[in-house]
Homo-oligomer: A and B are copies of this chain.
């Protein structure tokens, strides 16, 4: 086997990164209940080595979270002026290489925890930026509660995607996942556009009569 030096083989980051990548893929595919030995087999190593490198399974997951978050931050600048949250993720996963990351993120949101909250805050922040930009450009209506609207849209988009993948467990390879993701986008695009263009209710009385006791809280979405 190759050792820790710097051999000429394709070894980006060494076995540690290899384990981490395998863990991201396996966690994304099977959820965080996946066993260390399974991940070890995927990475071509043993379970003991994982603990040797990451201290524990939780340490491995922290490393995966940090790695995915770093990738997310790196790929953030590729984000375009898109209004829909699901489409944003879909675009990110358009690059087939990023499918495991999106899969891992969905698993993370599904399982809750710190990365889930961070991811949600990320998406809410992005959505806020997009909405503000669209509002400034005159293509998006103003809101009487912008922050609440932003959080609402982000929750809806992320949750809808999550339900889709929970109900369509095409737990195959990444190509299947990407195809399902595209199918999802194709399915929701028209209803989303229709809803965003013409709303759902015929008249505005329900909105105009609303007391709006929602104080449009600050962007902290964690505490109840």
Q: Which residues of B contact A210 (CB under 8 A)?
A: 190, 193-194
- Does A158 sit at the interface, judged by CB under 8 A? yes
A interface, how many residues as a size bin? 35 or more
- What is the CB-to-nearest-CB distance from A214 to chain B, in angstroms, rounded to a whole number? 5
Counting every copy of the chain, the complex holds 2
* Assembly CA distance A66 to B222 (angstroms): 34
- Does A54 sit at the interface, judged by CB under 8 A? no
Contact (Cβ within 8 A) A167 B117: yes
* Assembly CA distance A83 to B116 (angstroms): 29
Pick from A138, A163, A188 the residue with the most CB of B within 10 Å: A163
- Does A212 sit at the interface, judged by CB under 8 A? yes
Contact (Cβ within 8 A) A195 B199: yes
Closest to A199 in B: B199
Closest to A197 in B: B207
Closest to A221 in B: B167
Contact (Cβ within 8 A) B186 A224: no
- Does A202 sit at the interface, judged by CB under 8 A? yes
- What is the CB-to-nearest-CB distance from A121 to chain B, in angstroms, rounded to a whole number? 10
Q: Which residues of B contact A162 (CB under 8 A)?
A: 159, 162-163
* Assembly CA distance A120 to B83 (angstroms): 26
Known contacts being A110-B110, A112-B167, A156-B159, is A141 close to B198, with CB within 8 Å? yes
- What is the CB-to-nearest-CB distance from A134 to chain B, in angstroms, rounded to a whole number? 8
Q: Which of B110, B139, B161, B200 contacts A83 (CB 8 A)?
A: B200
Chain A stretch 155-189: residues in CB contact (< 8 A) with chain B? 155-164, 166-170, 179-180, 183, 186-189
Instruction: Pick 24 A–B contacts, CB within 8 A, sort by A.
Output: A83-B201, A110-B110, A112-B169, A117-B167, A140-B200, A145-B190, A145-B191, A149-B194, A149-B195, A152-B160, A152-B195, A153-B195, A156-B157, A156-B159, A159-B160, A159-B161, A167-B221, A168-B222, A170-B224, A190-B210, A195-B199, A197-B199, A197-B201, A197-B204
Given contacts A33-B33, A148-B191, 8 further A-B contacts (CB under 8 A): A109-B163, A112-B169, A149-B195, A152-B187, A152-B192, A153-B200, A196-B206, A198-B204
